[in-house]
Chain A
Amino acid sequence: MPTVNITIDGKKIQAELGQTVLQAARAAGIHIPVLCDHPALPPEGACRICLVEIEKQRALQPACTFPVTEGLVVETHSQRVMAARKFTLELLISDHPLDCMTCDATGDCLLQDLAYEYGVAGDRFKGKQHHYPITDPNPFIQVDRNKCILCRRCVRACQYINGVEAISVFYRGFNAYIGFGADGNMQDSPCEFCGSCVAVCPTAALWPKMSIGKGRPWQVKKVDTICSYCGVGCKLTLHVKDNEIIQVEGAWDGPANRGWTCVKGRFGYDYVHHPDRVKKPKVRRYLLEGKKKSRKGNAWEWVETDWDTALDITARRMLEVRKEAGASSLGVLASAKCLNEENYLMNKFARQVIGTNNIDHCARLCHSSTVAGLAISFGSGAMSNSIEDVTGQAQAFFVIGSNTTEQHPVIGMRIRQAVRQRGAALIVADPRRIDLCDFATLHLQHKPGTDIALLNGLMYIIIEKGWADEKFIAERTEGFEEFKQTIQQYPPERVSQITGVPVEQLYQAAEILGTAKPMAALWAMGITQHTTGVHNVMSLANLQMLTGNMGIPGGGVNPLRGQNNVQGACDMGGLPNVYPAYQPVASEEARKKFEAAWGTPLSPEPGRTVTELIPDILKGKTKALYILGEDPVMSDPDTNHVRECLEKIDFLVLQELFPSETEPYADVFLPGVSFAEKTGTFTNTERRVQMVRQAIQPPGEARPDWEIIRDLAVRMLAERSLNPDAPYAGWDYASTSDIMDEINALAPSYAGITHERLEKGESLQWPCPSTDHPGTPILHTKGFTRGKGKFMSIDHVPPAELPDPEYPMVLSTGRVLYHWHGGQMSRRAKGLLEIYPQALIEISHEDAEKLGLNGTKRVRVSSRRGSIEAEAMVTDRVPPGMVYANFHFPEASANELTIAALDPLAKIPEYKVCAVRVESLK
């Protein structure tokens, strides 16, 4: 960018052509006050506070919109400017409540700061004042129009950041005010309560309801940490007072979110303080009385006890089970919600302490097919690019099987920004008409379970039209010829037949995917949760190799990981077939390395997965489970069967925060702590390892999970002697930083990632092989982990259970914006539960009419596994013949209906397709 020389307040500065005076001043560290301007938003020029005196300009000019030119001379605080600013402030204050004493924004209010600086007391102008009632009923944001200065920051945030455009200014002059939707309540507008408007509002006009009256900015301790909900990994700032989180903001320097959040991150934190938090360990009475297990009567009563008793009982029982039935009769479930350090300990616990590779976690249920598929295609199963380069540079997005604006809202926002502001193309492939389609270039509404046919069909056209990247294919891949043979079986007509997508749309999509470069492929559960999940993923790898979109910014394979630390839980070896950093259990070299490190022989046999461990209870193969931060009753398919299995288990230890749906089956409950009560790291979907910092003390006697695992391990190892030369045989960790030191030594991709580097402000994405390595934003830039990328020949195979005359509709399942998975956290966040209080079944208008749905619209949905009753939501989101349910509410969980049909390689259930019958309830 060419530069110009300008002078601000006598200081000579070099500015970039195209900048405004305000931008140039900010860059040079010169302060010009503003009200309506915000660095993250386009300039407005409304408030006139940033007026400056510019040589040769007759009138004062707003610095926020005035462009720099060569030789510009600017005065930012001349007498003329000061008088003008003061005048504007007098006018603003003349119609503003002078209630700073009780206003929540005191100490954090731009208007207050300026009034103080310019000596504006509010006594100069007397006139009509507004007295708007404060009535918006939504649970999250208080709307006080009396404090609004009509700076329109909220309008711009809703337009340019989130993009739903829920906020507008209505009427004009003295009658102008901020309103929502078509001038109604916030919750009746497109508002998603992301709180971007609250984040930018300079006064208390928009303020979090949960924070009102809770504390003054100077009374609050601010702690930066990472959100506990999804895999975007938004950096948050917690405001803490008297051991309570009273407000949450997005951190402006968050690499993934840049200060923005979604409703759950910003307003769904109060689950941490919910009275349901378990505060003392508890065990079933039969265990205290040394009796045989019985789930009846007194014997099954919960008895609160002290930590020593609970841990002693747990260790004893686990050792007993191991002695009676062998180490492989025990299983460990790590937690995608817990710290990396804790997941590492769980992996060590299973392997070193118990002696089994039966460790798994909920990644099995969501992206195990991604990990397996990409491991075969590329040698490495992680998101290849970063959120920044994908959303910032992709010329086209191919989003397939991801409801991004609801499940990864901040990434959804950034995609929307790219489409609207940069003109990037967006192709959405989804059986439902999700919100993402509102701004998509093209929506391919394919039939559920036809992803392979769709992808093969698109690749057929790409090859036919000569859009394949031949250079990339020749230099970086193998297996193309065989793959091409398979693709020839998928001409557009056949693909249209299978998928239901019109031939014309296939050509339109293929053209965009084949010619726009770089093109990023993003996906989530719609691709992974199928019996053909692994093949679906490999087809996407094929696509990105075919079009040469691997290893370049703005391209790549971008599976959007669900949980806040599912990436980390996988990285830390929370999987039955790999040690930390994906070193295979079956590799003798890897096993010997860990045996030497941990000082004990290790089992060479890969363990069983979650979707096998639980059903195996009925086969007598699984006798005991140690479950950390997971609720299989809510999350696993075929709930009735899960309950049946857990009833029969010999010993179940549950370590988590709340009495979940799995709790009734636990023999021991160990209360762990939330993300706000411990320090360590989470790894988000773009392989970025980020610091989670303790902000408050845990309630009652709940303890950090890593301490519990450690203390349990020490007890169970008491009788054993490990090799004294083994450097990492011991469990004497005094902090999670100690655990990270061990991870550095044993997990090559994490070798250079230390708490120290993170605390210094470095932002690191693995692989990071040494402490002077800057981390790796993009994978596979020079070669793939396995060398050459492998084209796989994949054929379409229909889902396991399709509709038939008895169960004539397709059920697809998933989540909604306001809740999170089993709902243990989100249903205990007051606002989230208020705004979305019950399970809803999405059903099309045609089907609703056929069923005669009207009035209260309650329906019963039944499958071969079970039946639920819930309220129907009649919508055009689902095509006729399909219904959609979520698994957030135990009273009507979709998993009562889902089928445990597994992908043969990844063992992931086919949550996305099964057959159901829907009846209207009168």
Chain B
Amino acid sequence: MNQANKSSPPAIEDPRKRAMLLAALYLAQEQHGWLSPEAIRRVADRLELSTGQVMSTASFYTMFKLEPQGKYHIQVCEGLSCYLVDGAETIIDHIARRLKIKPGQTTPDGRFTLEVVQCLAACDLAPALKVNDELYGHMTLESIDTLLEKLERS
């Protein structure tokens, strides 16, 4: 836990400990982009829950990452709109071939993780994808290449 996340929280009372679990996990994940065993343990200690319970909750949600993620977490939407505009499949294929990884994997240099996600609710921008918290819309193979080059250089 870094200082910002640790600073002056009020004493946590039962039974609201469990209610804070999702938020706590989200904060913990923000630190390093994933929930390491150490992070799980710290959340458990802080909320006075067992590591099993915390891990059980964390593993339930795909948004909680239990493995280290790349610096750039590419989330390609495969919702209906993105799929129908001849988007999702093609885009996923293209990025996968370019980065030489399969969806769900991270490049060996730790720079990119490719994930296929459900609807990003950006149907007016279909086909859409996110890189970390940034949303990119109306993607074409060229704009994807440009984006990847920019990220590779940074």
Measured CB to CB, the nearest residue on chain B to A191 is: B52
Least CB distance from B13 to A in Å reads 14
Instruction: Report chain B residues within 8 Å CB of A168.
Output: 50, 52-53, 55-56
Bound Cα distance from A168 to B59, whole angstroms: 11
CA–CA, A169 and B55, complex, Å: 9
Do B52 and A180 touch (CB < 8 A)?
yes
Q: Is A733 an interface residue (CB 8 A)?
A: no
Which residues of B lie under 8 Å from residue A165 when comparing CB positions?
A: 50, 52-53
- Residues of chain A with a CB closer than 8 A to B53's CB: 165, 168
**Known contacts being A182-B37, A182-B40, A182-B41, is A166 close to B52, with CB within 8 Å?**
yes
Interface residue count for A (Cβ, 8 Å)?
16
Say whether A603 faces chain B, with CB atoms less than 8 Å apart.
Answer: no
A171 B50 Cβ-Cβ under 8 A: no
In contact, B59 and A181 (Cβ under 8 angstroms): no
A713 at the interface (CB under 8 A from B): no
Q: Which residues of B contact A189 (CB under 8 A)?
A: 52
Q: Is the CB of B59 within 8 A of A183?
A: yes
Contact A182 B55 (CB under 8 A): yes
- Closest residue of chain A to B60 (Cβ to Cβ) is A172
Mark out the residues of chain B between 29 and 69 whose CB falls within 8 Å of any chain A CB in the assembled complex: 37, 40-41, 50-56, 59-60
Residues 164 to 182 of chain A near chain B (Cβ within 8 Å): 164-172, 179-182
Contact in complex: B60, A182 (CB < 8 Å): no
Residues of B within 8 A of A171 (CB): 59-60
**Residues 1-46 (chain B) with a chain A CB within 8 angstroms:** 37, 40-41
Q: Within 8 Å CB of B51, what residues of A?
A: 181-182
- A116 CB to closest chain B CB (Å) equals 33
B11 to chain A, nearest CB (A): 15
Contacts of B50 in A (CB 8 A): 164-166, 168, 190
Most A Cβ at <10 Å: residue of B54, B55, B56 = B56
Q: Closest B-chain residue to A175, C-beta based?
A: B59
B-facing mask of A136-167, CB < 8 A → 1, else 0?
00000000000000000000000000001111
How distant is A332 from chain B, measured CB to nearest CB, in Å?
50
Question: How many angstroms between the C-alpha atoms of A179 and B54 in the bound complex?
Answer: 12
**CB-CB nearest in chain A for B52:** A168
A-B contact count (CB 8 A): 41
Instruction: Give the interface centre of B37, B40, B50, B54 by most chain A CB atoms within 10 Å.
Output: B50
| Most chain A beta carbons < 10 A, residue from B52, B55, B60 | B52
Q: How far is the CA of A68 from the CA of B40 in the complex (A)?
A: 41
Nearest residue (CB) in A for B41 is A182
Nearest Cβ distance between residue A277 and chain B, in whole angstroms?
40
Task: List B117-150 residues whose CB lies under 8 Å from chain A.
Answer: none
A164 to B50 Cα, complex, angstroms: 8
Residues of A within 8 A of B37 (CB): 182
Q: How far is the CA of A181 from the CA of B37 in the complex (A)?
A: 11
Majority-rule SS of B interface residues:
helix
Q: Which A397-442 residues sit within 8 Å CB-CB of chain B?
A: none
State in angstroms the CA–CA spacing of A169 and B54 once bound together.
Answer: 11
Closest A residue by C-beta to B44: A182
User: Which residue on chain B has the smallest CB distance to residue A170?
Assistant: B59
| Bound CA–CA A182/B56 (angstroms) | 8
A165, closest chain B residue (CB): B50
CB distance from A178 to the nearest CB of B (A): 10
Residues of B within 8 A of A179 (CB): 52, 55-56
Minimal beta-carbon separation of A154 from chain B (angstroms) = 12
User: Which residue of the partner chain B has the closest CB to A158?
Assistant: B52
B34 to chain A, nearest CB (A): 14
Cβ of A443 to closest chain B Cβ, rounded Å: 14
Q: How far is the CB of A191 from chain B (nearest CB, A)?
A: 10
Interface string of A62-82 (1 = CB under 8 A from B): 000000000000000000000
Residues of chain B lying within 8 A (CB to CB) of residue A164: 50
Interface centre among A164, A171, A179, A180 (most CB of B within 10 A): A171
Could you tell me the distance between the alpha carbons of A533 and B1 in the complex, rounded to whole angstroms?
47
Q: How far does the alpha carbon of A559 sit from the alpha carbon of B55 in the complex, in Å? A: 39
Question: How far, in Å, is B39 (CB) from chain A's closest CB?
Answer: 11
A722–B46 Cα gap in the complex (Å)?
74
In the bound assembly, the distance between CA atoms of A171 and B55 in angstroms comes to 9
Tell me the complex Cα distance, A183–B54, Å: 11
Chain A nearest CB from B44 CB (Å) reads: 8
**What distance in Å separates the Cβ of A174 from its nearest Cβ neighbour in chain B?**
13
Binary CB contact string for chain A from 528 to 545 against chain B (1 if under 8 A, 0 otherwise): 000000000000000000
**Within 8 Å CB of B59, what residues of A?**
170-172, 183
Q: Which residue of B lies closest to A180 (CB)?
A: B52
A170 to B40, CA, bound (A): 14
Q: Is the CB of B55 within 8 A of A183?
A: yes
Mark each residue of chain A from 620 to 634: 1 if its CB lies under 8 Å from any CB of chain B, else 0. Answer: 000000000000000
The distance in angstroms between the C-alpha atoms of A189 and B52, with both chains bound, is 8
Given A182-B37, A182-B40, A182-B41; A167-B60 close (CB under 8 Å): no
Q: In the bound complex, how far is the Cα of B43 from the Cα of A182, in angstroms?
A: 12
Assembly CA distance A536 to B51 (angstroms): 39
In chain B, what residue has the closest Cβ to A167? B52
Measured between beta carbons, the chain A residues less than 8 angstroms from B55 are 168, 170, 179, 181-183
Contacts of B41 in A (CB 8 A): 182
Give the Cβ gap from A743 to chain B, nearest Cβ, in Å.
Answer: 48
CB distance from B98 to the nearest CB of A (A): 29
How many angstroms from the CA of A181 to the CA of B51 in the assembled complex? Answer: 6
Q: Which residues of B contact A169 (CB under 8 A)?
A: 56
Q: Which residues in B have their C-beta under 8 angstroms from that of A167? A: 52
CA A179 to CA B51, docked complex, whole Å? 11
* Nearest CB in chain A: distance from B56 CB, A: 4
| C-alpha spacing A182/B54, complex, angstroms | 8
Q: What CA separation (Å) do A634 and B72 show in the bound complex?
A: 63
Q: Which residues of B contact A166 (CB under 8 A)?
A: 50, 52
Return chain B residues, CB-CB under 8 Å to A170.
Answer: 55-56, 59-60
CA distance A773 to B56 in the complex (A): 52
CA distance A164 to B49 in the complex (A): 11
**Residues 92-110 of chain B: 1 if any A CB is under 8 Å from the residue's CB, otherwise 0?**
0000000000000000000
CA distance A189 to B51 in the complex (A): 9
Contact partners of A182 in chain B: CB under 8 A: 37, 40-41, 51-52, 54-55
| Shortest distance from the beta carbon of B4 to any chain A beta carbon, whole Å | 25
Contact check, A181 vs B52: say whether CB atoms are below 8 A apart. yes
Which A residues are in CB contact (< 8 Å) with B54? Answer: 182
- Tell me which residues across on chain A come within 8 A of B52, comparing CB atoms: 165-168, 179-183, 189-190
- Which residue on B lies nearest to A183, using beta carbons? B55
Bound: A441/B1 CA distance, A = 27
How long is the Cα–Cα vector from A549 to B51 in the complex, in angstroms?
A: 38
Taking the nearest CB of chain A, how far is it from the CB of B36, in angstroms? 11
Give A190 to B44 CA distance when docked, in angstroms. Answer: 13
User: Please, which residue of chain A has its CB at the minimum distance from the CB of B61?
Assistant: A172
The residue among B51, B53, B54 with the most chain A CB atoms within 10 A of its own CB is: B51
Q: How far is the CA of A164 from the CA of B51 in the complex (A)?
A: 11
Residues of B within 8 A of A183 (CB): 52, 55, 59
Min distance, Cβ A132 to any Cβ of chain B, angstroms: 16
Chain B, residue nearest A190 (CB): B50
| Pairs A–B under 8 Å by Cβ, sample size 16 | A165-B50, A166-B52, A167-B52, A168-B53, A169-B56, A170-B59, A171-B60, A172-B59, A179-B56, A181-B51, A181-B52, A182-B51, A182-B54, A183-B55, A183-B59, A190-B50
Top 5 A-B residue pairs of the complex, sorted by shortest distance between their CB atoms: A168-B56, A168-B52, A182-B51, A165-B50, A170-B59
Q: Point out residues on A near B: beta carbons under 8 Å.
A: 164-172, 179-183, 189-190
For the A-B complex with A181-B51, A189-B52 known, give 6 more contacts whose Cβ atoms are closer than 8 Å: A170-B60, A171-B60, A172-B59, A180-B52, A182-B40, A182-B41
